[in-house]
Structure 1
Amino acid sequence: MDKDVNKDSLNLDPKSNNDYISKREKQLDAEFQKKIVERKKKFLEELKTENEVFDNRTLLNIYSLLTGKHIDEFSGIINSGKEAVVFKAKKGNEYFAVKIYRVSNCDFKTMWKYIQGDPRFHLRKSSTRQIIKAWVEKEYRNLMRALEHINTPEPILRRENVLLMEFIGESGTPAPRLKDVKVNYNEFYELIREDLKTLYQDAQLVHGDLSEYNILVKDDEPVYIDFSQGVITQHPLSKSLLIRDVKNICNFFKRKGVKCDYRELYKYVTGEELSIIDEEMVNIY
């Protein structure tokens, strides 16, 4: 053995080494748990200041985003509606959007109507939790499908009634909705017209709830959000929902002085004439 090595400095007893490692692991675990508790407390305070009330299971789903290191903190509300609230969140210098459905406020009958006709889902109407989980899964899949063809937020992950996605905006400031910003309306109508056609014919998807409220404006281009009601073109409600979409779009742009007709827009998107029967079906749904 090298003479420079002090035998007393070596611990050759395996039991002693294992005891040291075990003690150190417990110490590190205690430190980690303390950080988790502090982080959870901060997280709950953040939600409390936003005047939002969620059930325990939802809080656990949201909290899993923090412990999973997907985000570091919440930093305000982007939008709040009856059934869902969209938070702004951060990880480092990057911003994200977190959409959280309020389970107690959701219209499960309407959700079920949109889900049951979708061949992508085979769900038995057994619990509200299963329905809302399928609803968020549907929005996630719709965004993934639409993203291949038009501007939408990129979905990142979902946890039951929670959806994490790309933040649309600059330096933490959300992009404005079409209803809140002035654009060249004639040019913007043409962009939306083309996107609707692409969404229908290439992505085989109908937004289902399209209006000036669900279109953001970023870099002078439309970005489409809120795809939870979106359906594929094979869905029995797809025609009715598309008619409603084109009517909403044309009503908005008409108010801005753009010459447009929803029947012409429907034909441009689908390649088919709009029948009286199809229009009557809109009132049923």
Structure 2
Amino acid sequence: MIDHAAVYRSLLPEEKKILRGVEEGMKTHQWVPVEDVEAFTRLGRKTVEYRLNELVDKDIIERYIQSYVGYRLKFDGYDLLAIEAFVRKDTIAALGEVIGVGKESVVLAAMGLRPYAIKFHREGRTSFKQVKRSRQHLVDIEIENFSWLYAAMLAAKREYDALERLYPAVNVPEPVDHNRHAVVMSVVGGVEMAKANLVEPGWYLDETLKQVKKAYELGLIHSDLSEYNVMVRDDGITIIDWPQYVEAGGKTADEMLARDVGNILSYFERKYRIKRELGQTIEWIKTS
């Protein structure tokens, strides 16, 4: 992984333009020909080729050489385009260190009007075809050049939309801004529930279920809830990671709600020997 702050500071204006040109070309090409980047940027061929080599050396794009020479963004390069958009909008003024790395995201500290976190979605990092099959919101989408770029962008937009609908009624991160595959949000304190040894586990179970109920009342079901995306602190909990949400009235709503609640109940029974009946808990969540 690159040092985002250092590489961003090193980028020249023409290199940023070339990154945007590669991004644009990836809408229609798996590997973007040099000619397309040249046409987009309106820079000379020698300049484009030299700067493309520089960006390869910075490890933010990659090169393909076979029947022709082509380029495509790496996730870190896509990150830098989102960062540039946030800087231009004055959403952020400084970047910090990586504060979280997950299977499908990287989170950086940032500073704007106050400390923020930037979550960069990484859906499709290993196989966007597998991600498309396993995400309900992607299954019915028919796009000829469907790619990780599109999957990550859609996930970020969905998560931002969910946070806007839920915050502040539900304990979720405060949404601040989003661009491409990135979401700027408030910093979430506490520790992952899976890593905590709770002194009053019954209280934390109740708090988690209360937030699930509040989200349901607002029409959303997390649909990927577990002890790994609930953050706990002394005074409460925060539920994170919302891109896979489903609508409470959707065709898979009951199945997803049962899975979410079942995951939480199973965790508390397994670790703390607290047993709750699944059917009764779901009935309570659905009751206004």
Give the alignment partner of residue 193 of structure 1, picking from 209, 214, 238: 209
Deviations 1:208-232 (A, max 9, x none): 1111111112342111110011111
The answer on 1:161 being equivalent to 2:177 is no
The answer on 1:109 being equivalent to 2:127 is no
AA aligned opposite 2:115? Y
AA aligned opposite 2:116? F
Q: Provide the C-alpha distance between the structure 1 equivalents of 2:104 and 2:193, rounded to a whole number of angstroms.
A: 22
Shift of 1:58: 3.4
Of all paired residues, the percent bearing the same amino acid is: 25
Give the alignment partner of residue 165 of structure 2, picking from 141, 145, 155: 145
**If you compute each CA radius of gyration, which structure gives the higher value, 1 or 2?**
1
Correspondence for 1:60: 81
Q: Taking structure 1 as reference, are residues 148 and 112 closer, same or farther at Cα in structure 2, changes over 3 Å only?
A: same
Give SS of 2:137's match.
helix
Correspondence for 2:281: 265
Question: Structure 2, unaligned stretches of length 5 or more?
Answer: 1-5, 12-54, 60-73
The question of whether the paired residues in 1 share the 8 Å contact of 2:166 and 2:215 is answered with: yes
TM-score, normalising length from structure 1? 0.67
Q: Provide the C-alpha distance between the structure 1 equivalents of 2:284 and 2:240, rounded to a whole number of angstroms.
A: 22
AA aligned opposite 1:125? I
Q: Aligned-residue CA RMSD in angstroms? A: 3.0
Q: Taking structure 1 as reference, are residues 113 and 40 closer, same or farther at Cα in structure 2, changes over 3 Å only?
A: same
Q: Taking structure 1 as reference, are residues 237 and 115 closer, same or farther at Cα in structure 2, changes over 3 Å only?
A: farther
Correspondence for 1:81: 102
Shift of 1:38: 9.3
TM-score, normalising length from structure 2? 0.66
* Count of residue correspondences: 218
The question of whether the paired residues in 2 share the 8 Å contact of 1:125 and 1:131 is answered with: no
Q: Taking structure 1 as reference, are residues 65 and 241 closer, same or farther at Cα in structure 2, changes over 3 Å only?
A: same
Deviations 1:191-215 (A, max 9, x none): 2222222221x21110111111111
The answer on 1:227 being equivalent to 2:242 is yes
Q: Provide the C-alpha distance between the structure 2 equivalents of 1:178 and 1:164, rounded to a whole number of angstroms.
A: 23
Shift of 1:116: 5.9
Deviations 1:233-276 (A, max 9, x none): 1222222211110111001111212221222212221249xxxx
The answer on 1:134 being equivalent to 2:134 is no
Q: Taking structure 1 as reference, are residues 68 and 233 closer, same or farther at Cα in structure 2, changes over 3 Å only?
A: same
